[in-house]
Amino acid sequence: MNHTIKEMPESQRPYEKCIREGEGSLSDSELLAVILRTGTRGSNSLTLANDILKHMEQSSYPGLLGIIHSSLPELRRIHGIGAVKAVQLKCIGELSKRIASEAARPMLDFKNPDSIAAYYMEQLRHQEQEVMICMMLDNQNHLLGDTLLSKGTVNATLITPREIFLEALRYHAVNLILIHNHPGGNPSPSVCDKEITERISQAGEMLGICLLDHIIIGDQRYVSFREQGLLDEYPV
Burial pattern 211-224, b for ≥16 Cβ within 10 A else e, equals bbbbbbbbbeebbb
- Rounded distance between C-alpha atoms, residue 195 and residue 189, angstroms: 10
Q: Does residue 233 lie within any of the structural domains?
A: no
Instruction: Say whether both 64 and 144 belong to one domain.
Output: no
Taking alpha carbons only, the member of 116, 228, 121, 118 closest to residue 178 is: 116
Q: Is the pLDDT of residue 149 over 60?
A: yes
Question: What average pLDDT does range 17-41 have in this prediction?
Answer: 89
At residue 101, the pLDDT reads 74
CB atoms within 10 A of CB 165: 19
Q: What DSSP state is assigned to residue 233? A: P
**CA angle, corner 234, sides to 133 and 102, nearest 5?**
40
Taking alpha carbons only, the member of 155, 210, 215, 154 closest to residue 187 is: 215
179, 132 contact by CB (below 8 A): yes
CATH number at residue 18: 1.10.150
Q: Does residue 57 lie within any of the structural domains?
A: yes
Give pLDDT tens digits for 38-56. 888 778 889 899 999 999 8
Instruction: Say whether both 81 and 10 belong to one domain.
Output: yes
- Rounded distance between C-alpha atoms, residue 210 and residue 174, angstroms: 6
Give pLDDT tens digits for 157-168. 457 788 889 989
At residue 157, the pLDDT reads 41
Q: Does residue 230 lie within any of the structural domains?
A: no
Q: Does residue 181 lie within any of the structural domains?
A: yes
E strands present in 49-207: 131-137, 143-151, 175-181
Q: Is the pLDDT of residue 11 over 60?
A: yes
Domain residues for 112?
A: 108-224
Q: Is the pLDDT of residue 233 over 80?
A: no
Question: What average pLDDT does range 24-34 have in this prediction?
Answer: 91
Instruction: Say whether both 55 and 156 belong to one domain.
Output: no
Highest averaged pLDDT of the listed ranges 101-105, 167-171, 228-232: 167-171
Give percent of the chain with pLDDT exceeding 70: 93
Instruction: Say whether both 27 and 129 belong to one domain.
Output: no
At residue 184, the pLDDT reads 85
Last residue of a domain, one of 51, 80, 100: 100
**CA angle, corner 46, sides to 40 and 50, nearest 5?**
95
pLDDT: which is higher, 210 or 151: 210
How many domains does one find in the chain? 2
Instruction: Say whether both 16 and 43 belong to one domain.
Output: yes
Q: Is the pLDDT of residue 236 over 50?
A: no
pLDDT: which is higher, 131 or 61: 131
Q: Is the pLDDT of residue 235 over 60?
A: no
Taking alpha carbons only, the member of 174, 218, 220, 223 closest to residue 197 is: 223
At residue 103, the pLDDT reads 76
The alpha-carbon radius of gyration of the chain (Å, integer) is 22
Give pLDDT tens digits for 109-122. 888 999 999 889 98
Taking alpha carbons only, the member of 183, 217, 182, 177 closest to residue 197 is: 177
Q: Pairing between strand 131-137 and 210-217?
A: unpaired
34, 15 contact by CB (below 8 A): yes
